[in-house]
Homo-oligomer: A and B are copies of this chain.
Amino acid sequence: MSVVPKISRERIVEIASELFYHNGYNQTSFSQLAEACHIPKGNFYYHFKTKQDILDAVIDKRTNDIVSVLQSWDDESSDPHARLLCFVRMLKRSQDELLRFGCPMGTINLELGKSQPQLQTQSAKMFELFINWLVLQFNLLGYEEEKSRFKAYYLMNQAQGCATLLYSLKDKSMFDKQLAYLEDWLNTIKKS
């Protein structure tokens, strides 16, 4: 006695998020989205007024996902150094996805910057969440505010750069080496 659940708004957003990640927002059409959701095209407009509304919802979802991830790292350890390692290891775990589709934050940000500037601002909040969290960890390690901010950006720079080059040049072993270097760096700057 199986119940076939109607597709929920939440599920649509999940599917859209993946399609936007894989194909880009502008290159993903309603037809593709409808097909992936197994619903007719017209049906969308019950949940969303425009395509951009879907993008808004996707950005919201991703933002919330990031909050959850950061929370889970906070829960996992109270040691800021261990938490920072979580960040680097996430990159390592994501290697295959990064190679195929690039960084989910970086790629959408660059795309929106060219076509929907106001939405770029929105999606840049994802970066800010990560950076603010990183700043906090360096604070906890004993660094003052300005130095912490610098290190947080430095770490995020590296992450974005590694992801971009991996996506462009497909060199996995170099990606590994650069991440290993980042881990070493984290060990070096660890204060008492």
Complex Cα distance A105/B168, Å? Answer: 10
Task: Report if A177-B150 is in contact (Cβ < 8 Å); known contacts: A114-B24, A127-B169, A167-B113.
Answer: yes
Cross-chain contact B160 with A164 (CB below 8 angstroms)? yes
Q: Is A69 an interface residue (CB 8 A)?
A: no
| A76 CB, nearest partner CB in chain B, Å | 26
- Is chain A's interface secondary structure helix, strand, loop, or mixed overall? helix
Complex Cα distance A68/B42, Å? Answer: 52
| A27 CB, nearest partner CB in chain B, Å | 5
Complex Cα distance A171/B174, Å? Answer: 29
Q: Which residues of B contact A24 (CB under 8 A)?
A: 26, 111, 114-115
Cross-chain contact A110 with B115 (CB below 8 angstroms)? no
Cross-chain contact B167 with A110 (CB below 8 angstroms)? yes
Which A residues form the contact surface with B (CB < 8 A)?
A: 22-24, 26-27, 101-102, 106-107, 109-111, 113-115, 120, 124, 127-128, 131, 149-150, 153-154, 156-162, 164-165, 167-169, 171, 174, 177-178, 181
Contacts A/B (CB < 8 Å), 13 sampled: A101-B113, A106-B110, A109-B167, A110-B110, A113-B168, A120-B168, A124-B168, A149-B174, A156-B165, A157-B164, A157-B165, A157-B178, A158-B161
